[in-house]
Structure 1
Amino acid sequence: MCGIIGILPRPSTRNVPTAESIEQLLAAAVNAGTDCTLIADALMAADQLLRGDAGIQALVGNASLLASITKSLNLIDAVADTEEARIDALHVDTATLDAEVARLSRVKDASWAIRRDRLRAADAVHVFAGTNAGASSLVGYFAIHQALSAIDRMEVRGRDSAGISVLVTSPSFAALSAELAGLMAGRVSDPLFTNTSVRHNGSTLVFVYKAAAEIGELGDNTKHMRDAVSADVLLRAALAIPDARVAVLGHTRWASVGIISEPNAHPVTGEEIEGDNHNVSVAVLNGDVDNHTELRERHRLHFAEPITTDAKVIPAIVDRGRTSGLDTQAAFLNAVTQFEGSVAIGYMTASDPNDMYLALFGSGQGLYIGLAEDRFIVASEPYGTVEETVHFVRLDGETPRDGGDPNSRGQVVRLSVEGAGTIAGITRLAYDGIEIPVTDSDVAVAEVTTRDIDRGDAPHFLLKEITEAPRSFRKTIRGRTLTVNGLLVPDLDTFTLPTSIKDRLASGSIKRIRVIGQGTAAVAGTSLIPVLASLLDSSIQVEALTSTELSGFAMSTDMSDMLVIAVSQSGTTTDTNRTVDLVA
């Protein structure tokens, strides 16, 4: 598995908020006492002010504001801890308990977002940009930070290599200054497009930062790339141009085709050994182009020898189409419909940096278009978008546009910078070239926050889950047990265990129980089997299996005699929730 990230921003449509406006909202949260609803509302309003390009400009370099925000959050977090202890001591019905927990969770989520997302972004951008940086530098580095932050979250899907391409555009780049030309010398001739390589086309400079290592830890790749970005004097000079604009296309890889190396790390260019290479483009790929060898032969593609990744054929074939006279959208559609296999693809070209192209085909991959303030944030998982927005449009690479035409299966999208962050900026086509309009009904809301998916200081998520297991278990049974003679005994109300379920178990109309989950939740589910077997009549068949096993291989027309018990640590596991929906 791999991960894709894309950032396509437009100039901010919002004024930079004042420190006073932010501090007033935080003061309202502090003064709300223990009223979690008022606290959360004020924090969420402050968080909205601190998002996007306007928010980053308000924060970076403003030490007094940063200190004021931190002080307020410390006070609010102390209130949240007190409320948590109060809720732990409650013994009320499940609906009341869940409502209390939900109110507190809104406070925790909002506080976390400000402290761990907004302030962390401001710190990262300050490290990149240095002191006295102008607005163009701040917003440019902010887009780069967003891409690297998303890769940090998605690299659990693959981390042997990673890379980002940064497209910086300014009309002044059409005739480079002597300073920029001098800084660029020696960086444009690497045919392998390895770390810190640069390309220049028209009004756009294309930078690439890559890392590749067979052995390493989560976070190593992005640290390597952050260091390279911070040290890049040419990038710093380019971003300092007042009208400079930035877009980013990135990837984290689990190598399947091609060895682990910087030349094979994505993004890759469409450059060929014997081509004129006047087109400068970059592409990223999740999945495999199964027929890439045949495509190389058919199109007589010749790449620098160390490059063996199948992703290389993507920009090369698109650029061949553009050279033949097709516009970029038509050339992209023409290329992706030639690929066999389940794929998710991102593509950008230096000559048209205001558009980002995406393709999704098959059931094995995903692409989500996050609708953030004045920007699109593209990711192959929703948790790549949620730092900036919970709203997204999900591409569907499996369902044909026309049920009777298999050629209409798969989707292509063009994102336009003019409509960045809105559905108006999304053009969606089926693989047969027919447009599928994007409407408000296509916009979904993520059910996770960055607090849910944060790895913290743990080197791996498994260790995080193990160390947090006791706390998770305590929260799970909170309000659902009583102490009798020094022992905990279940005390479940009808909301948790409906009377109808108890009656059906007693009558024998439930004959099968399936405990489902994914990952560690599925493992936890297996512990229920001996417990249930000891409590139930032997006529009831009890089995634990993964959610995908049930949905993929164990469904039947009549499942009315089956009770499904779903286990999920977060409650938002897609495969588990989808299986529950299918069974219901």
Structure 2
Amino acid sequence: MKQDPKSLMCGIVGYIGKRDAATVLLNGLKRLEYRGYDSAGIAVLNGALSVIKQKGSVGALERAVADSSGLLKGGTIGIGHTRWATHGDPSDRNAHPHLNAAGDIALIHNGIIENHTALRQELSSQGYTFLSDTDTEVLVHLIDRIWNEERHLTLEGVVRRALHYIEGAYGICVISSREPETLIVARMGSPLVLGIGEQEYFIASDAAPIIEYTKKVIYLADGEMAVMNREGFAVKTDKNEEAEKNVTELDFKLEEIEKGGFEHFMLKEIFEQPSVMQDVMRGRIHLEDNTLHLGGVKDHLEKLRKAKRIIICACGTSWHAGLIGEYLIEEFARIPVEVDYASEFRYRTPIISPDDVVMVISQSGETADTLAALRMAKEKGALVMGICNVVGSTIARETTCGMYTHAGPEIGVASTKAFTAQVIVLYMLALALSIGRTIKDEEIALYLKELSEAPQKAASIIAQHADIRAIAKVYKDARNFLYLGRGFNFPVALEGALKLKEISYIHAEGYPAAEMKHGPIALIDKDMPVIFIATRDSTYTKILSNIEEVRTRKGKIIAIATEGDQEISNLADHVIYIPYAAAPVTPLLTVIPLQLLSYYIATERGCNVDRPRNLAKSVTVE
């Protein structure tokens, strides 16, 4: 399936209960703003089916609701949506919800209907008129046609029948004035969470809009529908079979998805990293006897230790964490590791055997490419392990074993604390795989102690944020950056470059430092800032040589160096110091100044840090 990843930026909210629906929906849409969008709308049943939608922000939609002379007043059932344009430009008419011709069915949709062109042609030939350019409008007209032809069906039955005609990915909510006490939702590839209150129910793309009202949730799986009324709810498959679902208790608090006085979620999440590091290790590392307790994989540790090969599949920032995982596992456990882009993995007919372990990493646990890799690996008989942040996510449910990162909700689109949490999980796993095999007990004790000290050291780096901001002001107008690192810090160079690209829109590239002279050195002149990760480790003298090469060519040098290193201050234009740490721990520290530098360059340039253009928090379609 070839689909546009922008579609997943959309946000869904639905409500049925006793509260004012418009208020609940608008609050929920605000909590989903981090996903990115260009238009928004809501539909409420209050006798009639009333809709307000328009291009622009949720704030603009809120003002339109306030100016509507009480159009939505009194309604206690409704649906709301934020859209990122895929089919059709950002406009009022392309915004969701979409209505049938009679105006008595409203539908919102995340995902892409791949066969929408054929369905549109068929419906047009039958007299249906389309008012938008979207693929979504096809589905609401299809529901209308089926219901007009088979009037004995309920709204649930009509939606189920319509979905059998659909090819592609979807998360939908449907309401109708023909059946005003029912809210229908369905999922295929686009996440939906059902919140359970007292005679009230909430639906959303993720838990952020729900946590304010209830902590009890159900995560819908692909091919499932939920039917809600004020008396209760039922979850069924698309074949009309009852689906047994477990109620999950959300493990975060409302204040965790609020800015807490910070200007942006990204800055808040960078500053949270010391406490997040402690949370990831809590209950897993026992320094008193130098042991690890990894409950999510304990029943499979022996098979993991005996793996012929470990294949790590991930995308974006998680892929960079996976590269560090490769270094850690091979260094500690001496098990061969390959790291694949999940988006390429299943298209290159990889050789996978039952002796392999496939490890998938995803912050959201819903990344479509990573899920596709997971499912292929399972089909070929490999043990599949997951590392993700979201409890109850699809990856958490479908993997054989795994570990949660416990990073808490990450709202900023550019991942920060999720990255460091993933690296810590991979570090602990690498040590667990080495115990009794490849590393002596005293080495285990040393590496656990080093890891346990990382939160305090990270806090000392964050305390330098004002100095890092001053450096950002110097380079905010640069057009290109080069990031160079070696060993454990080569993936950090890649991650630093990605952060800068994501939020400041400055072109940046990461390379192994030794590769600079194999091409990139041609780019270096007085206008090229080059960031070196130059900590005191076995590659330090080689890095100094690379710095001299850039200095000779008048490049501007920013160095991330170990405290007390005076030699490098004579070579670099700017130095950001980090506390000393053993080489395998340094990625947890060296990445923080790169995150802060990217953040401050972006804010100096006036960029929308939390919602960078064209990007999504969780890519849930391929």
TM-score tier after normalising by the smaller chain length: 0.5 to 0.7
Aligned residue in 2 for 1:416: 229
Structure 1 residues 514 and 312: CA distance shift in structure 2, 3 A: closer
Helix, strand or coil: the match of 1:147? helix
Deviation at residue 159 of structure 1 after TM alignment: 1.2
SS in 1 for 2:81: strand
Q: Distance in 1 between matches of 2:158 and 2:378?
A: 42
Aligned to 2:62: 226
1:525/1:351 CA distance change after superposition, 3 Å: same
Q: Where does residue 114 of structure 2 map in the other structure?
A: 290
Matched, 1:314 2:118: no
Structure 1 gap ranges (5+)? 11-138, 170-203, 214-220, 272-276, 398-409, 483-489
Distance 2:181 2:123 in 1: 28
* Matched-pair contact (CA < 8 Å) for 1:518–1:575: no
Which residue is equivalent to 1:572? 391
Cross-structure match for 1:382: 207
2:24 is the alignment partner of 1:146: yes
Mapping 1:291-440, distance limit 5 Å: 291-300=115-124, 307-324=132-149, 326=151, 327-329=153-155, 330-360=157-187, 362=188, 364-397=189-222, 410-417=223-230, 419=231, 422-423=232-233, 426=234, 428-432=235-239, 435-437=240-242
What SS does the aligned partner of 1:234 have?
A: coil
1:376 is displaced (CA, Å) by 1.2
Number of positions where the alignment pairs a residue of Structure 1 with one of Structure 2: 360
Following the alignment from structure 1 to structure 2, what is the Cα–Cα distance between the partners of residues 456 and 350? 40
Tell me by how many angstroms 1:525 deviates. Answer: 4.9
What residue in structure 1 maps to residue 104 of structure 2? 280
- 1:267 has 2:91 as partner: no
User: What corresponds to 1:162 in structure 2?
Assistant: 40
Paired amino acid for 1:231: D
Question: Cα distance, 1:247 vs. partner?
Answer: 1.3
Decide whether aligned partners of structure 1 residues 457 and 311 sit closer, same or farther in structure 2, where only a CA change above 3 A counts.
farther
For 1:184, the equivalent position in structure 2 comes to none
Q: How does 1:98-117 map to 2 (within 5 A)?
A: none
1:339 aligned partner, one-letter code? I
Residue 194 of structure 1 corresponds to none
Specify every segment of 5 or more residues in structure 2 that has no aligned partner in the other structure, as ranges: 1-7, 341-359, 362-369, 404-622
The superposition leaves residues 413-452 of structure 1 with CA deviations (integer Å, 9 ceiling, x where unpaired) of: 43223x1xx34xx3x55444xx43466x543433444344
Q: Say which SS state the counterpart of residue 351 (structure 1) adopts.
A: coil
Indicate how the Cα distance of structure 1 residues 297 and 442 shifts in structure 2: closer, same or farther if over 3 A, else same. same
How far apart are residue 556 of structure 1 and its match? 8.4
The CA distance in 2 between the partners of 1:479 and 1:338, in whole Å, is 49
Q: Does residue 208 of the first structure (1) align with residue 51 of the second (2)?
A: yes
Go from structure 1 to structure 2 and tell me whether the alpha carbon gap of 1:282 and 1:580 turns closer, same or farther (over 3 Å shift).
Answer: closer
Alignment of 1:170-181 (within 5 A): none
2:116·2:135 contact (CA, 8 Å) conserved in 1?
yes
Selected match of 2:12 from 4, 17, 30: 4
Residue 582 of structure 1, CA deviation:
4.3
The letter of the residue matching 2:249 is V
Q: Following TM superposition, by how much is the alpha carbon of 1:357 offset from its aligned partner in structure 2, in angstroms? A: 2.2
Asked if 1 retains the 8 angstrom alpha-carbon contact of 2:308 and 2:336, the reply is yes
Q: How many Å apart are 1:510 and its aligned residue?
A: 6.3
Whole-Å separation in 2 of the counterparts to 1:166 and 1:448: 29
Task: Quote the offset at 1:165 in angstroms.
Answer: 1.0
Shift of the 465–280 alpha-carbon distance from structure 1 to 2, 3 Å rule, reads: same
The offset of 1:459, in angstroms, is 6.6
Compared with structure 1, are the counterparts of its residues 373 and 479 closer, same or farther at alpha carbon in structure 2 (3 Å cutoff)? closer
Percentage of identical aligned residues = 26
SS of the residue aligned with 2:400?
helix
Q: Distance in 1 between matches of 2:183 and 2:150?
A: 19
Is the partner of 1:577 in helix, strand or coil?
helix
Equivalent pair of 2:170/2:190 in contact (CA under 8 Å): yes
Is the partner of 2:113 in helix, strand or coil?
Answer: coil
Match of 1:44 in 2: none
- The CA deviation string for residues 63-92 of structure 1, in whole angstroms up to 9 with x for no partner, is xxxxxxxxxxxxxxxxxxxxxxxxxxxxxx
1:400 is aligned to none
Q: Are the aligned partners of 1:270 and 1:314 in contact in 2 as well (CA < 8 Å)?
A: no
Q: Given residue 318 of structure 1, which amino acid in structure 2 is its aligned partner?
A: I
Task: State the alpha-carbon separation in 2 of the partners of residues 321 and 567 from structure 1.
Answer: 43
CA contact (8 A) 2:40 2:54 kept: yes
Deviations 1:532-570 (A, max 9, x none): 55555xx4324556423763455587768x9x7x765x5
Secondary structure, counterpart of 1:5 in structure 2? strand
SS at match of 2:184: strand
Which amino acid counterpart does residue 368 of structure 1 have in structure 2? V
Deviation at 1:270, TM superposition (A): 0.7
Question: Residue 458 of structure 1: CA displacement?
Answer: 5.7
* CA pair 571-266 structure 1, distance change in 2 beyond 3 A: closer
Residue in structure 1 matched with residue 422 of structure 2 by the alignment = none
Query: What are the residue-to-residue correspondences of 1:81-120 with 2, within 5 Å?
Result: none
Letter in 1 for 2:205: S
Identify if the C-alpha distance between structure 1 residues 396 and 491 changes in structure 2 by more than 3 Å, giving closer, same or farther.
same
Q: What letter is aligned with 2:320?
A: V
Q: Once structures 1 and 2 are overlaid, which stretch shifts more, 312-321 or 551-560?
A: 551-560
Q: How far does residue 378 in structure 1 lie from its aligned partner after superposition?
A: 1.4
**Quick one: which amino acid aligns to residue 82 of structure 2?**
T
1:491-502 correspondence runs (5 A): 493-496=290-293
Contact 2:15 2:201 in 1 (8 A): yes
CA contact (8 A) 1:559 1:583 kept: no
Q: How far apart are the structure 1 equivalents of 2:141 and 2:268?
A: 42
CA distance in 2, matches of 1:525, 1:447: 26
Distance 1:390 1:530, change over 3 A: same
**Secondary structure in 1 aligned to 2:276?**
helix
